[in-house]
Amino acid sequence: MPHDHGRKLAKFYYASEKTIQKAIQASADAQRRWDKTPLEERIRIWQNAADLMAGAHRQRLNAATMLGQSKSVVQAEIDSAAELIDFFRFNVFFLKENAKYQPISENLSVTRNSLRFRGLDGFVAAISPFNFTAIGGNLAYTPALMGNGVLWKPSDTALLSNWRIFNIMREAGLPPGIVNFVPADGPTFGKTITASSRLAGINFTGSVPTFNWLWNEVGKNLNKYQNYPRLIGECGGKNYHFIHPSADIQSVVTGTIRSAFEYCGQKCSACSRMYVPRSLSEPIKQGLLEERSKLKIGDPTDFKIFTGAVIDDKAFARITGYIKNAKNNPKNKILGGGEFDGSKGYFVQPTIIETVDPFDKLMTEEIFGPVLTMYVYEDRDLDQALGLVGSSTKFALTGAVFATDQKFLESAFEELKMTAGNFYLNDKSTGSVVGQQPFGGGRMSGTNDKAGGPNYVMRWTTPQSIKETFVPLKDIDYPYMRD
């Protein structure tokens, strides 16, 4: 448990290269059988699973997420219950809606045109992160819904909750071999799947370096594959809150505290940089520090806590490294927090830093922890500050603008168009809801395939167009040739 790392919750084994190859064979073979299963039957299984997740297994999912991933009770409920269930129900809904389309048939007595969905020929590798139990379920089971065989490599630090999902799907009626649960060493798994001629797709959420490595390996092996593999990736962000002088201070403070520090800032969408005008800087600082001081950090089984521990020793070392560097950098000033203790659990206090350098690594690199950095700009330099948002980092996942000036909101809406796949006006940069704000970003934040939206399921099918002709073709020539 991250908040009590002396206590073990589960034991698992890494699959060897040989075992991974065996799982590839099982998935690819199962895909051909599974692809013949009618959509109606697949939909029935997914709806059954959603009902199990919403009922009998709801608190087992929440408990595993709270203990294994150190989520507060509300963050677990939002994730491992609500969002996971929504992914299953909405993906079924979107599949049924998409299946309603059929091509035009001008005269059904002569010809009928139709379209059917097929799975990808081979196997799909799903590589899921620790921070959202729901993402694990979505990455592995949405391709399966569309007729694919899947190898699921869960995160080492989300094994228990992900194993719960796997067994719920078994109970719901998913046949064996369609999704294979394969914990493995990352490089071993990556090398084995990309070397297989049967690789049909990679569904990934994680770091930019890992996704880049996978993409490069696929490129090197392109001549081996029987398909062009589909590469779908969500790689995090350096998400921003941009504050205009007309902004409502209370909304800024409340939204930023929640966005930056809920689940220890370990959300892909968490606010980690903010741009504040000089005219509002003091009341915003005061508000942030006042609210920060109220946050209780501790064991998630205590329902009074705001957040728990960061996920593991590697995350603890990375995050605290940024804090230590900030303490030694004269350009940066720690306004609040900056303390950490890894003796019992990997606890990092929510930390607010002010920098005078908008290109400092605190403002440009993804930290993935409870560290918020503020840059104060002069009101007269508003346009210049706005330009920093998109020019200072390679990410473009989420962002928010706070203002009551409608003209500014309209101009910022266009100016910041390419800086975020999920863009918020007077709201925090976190909290996308399945079916309401389909999620994903561009640039180095990923391929922006919008999980939680109608197009996501279509990324995992290879449609087939069919034309049936009912009237024999008797002539080779055309009528005009006879005139």
Here the tokens at position 299 are 């064991």
In sign, the C-alpha dihedral spanning 374, 375, 378, 384 is negative
Alpha helices in 222-262 (DSSP H): 249-261
- What is residue 107's DSSP assignment? -
In sign, the C-alpha dihedral spanning 472, 477, 481, 483 is negative
Cα–Cα distance measured from residue 300 to residue 73, given in angstroms and rounded to the nearest whole number? 7
* Orientation of helix 39-54 relative to helix 159-172, angle to 10°: 130
Helix (H) or strand (E) holding 386: helix 382-391
Alpha-carbon distances, residue 312 vs 6, 142, 185 (angstroms): 12, 28, 16
Task: State phi, psi for 203 to the nearest 5 degrees.
Answer: -110, 110
Among residues 83, 235, 262, 268, which one is catalytic? Answer: 268
If we measure between CA atoms, which residue out of 432, 353, 367 comes closest to residue 399? 432
In sign, the C-alpha dihedral spanning 288, 72, 343, 210 is negative
Q: What share of the chain is helix, strand, coil (3-state, %, to 5)?
A: 45, 20, 40
Alpha-carbon distances, residue 214 vs 261, 366, 380, 442 (angstroms): 31, 20, 45, 18
Amino acid at 64: A
Helix (H) or strand (E) holding 127: strand 123-127
- What is residue 174's DSSP assignment? P
Here the tokens at position 281 are 């800087």
Among residues 77, 83, 234, 291, which one is catalytic? Answer: 234
- What is residue 77's DSSP assignment? I
Helix (H) or strand (E) holding 166: helix 159-172
Is 271 among the catalytic positions? Answer: no
Is 268 among the catalytic positions? Answer: yes
Q: Residues with catalytic annotation?
A: 234, 268
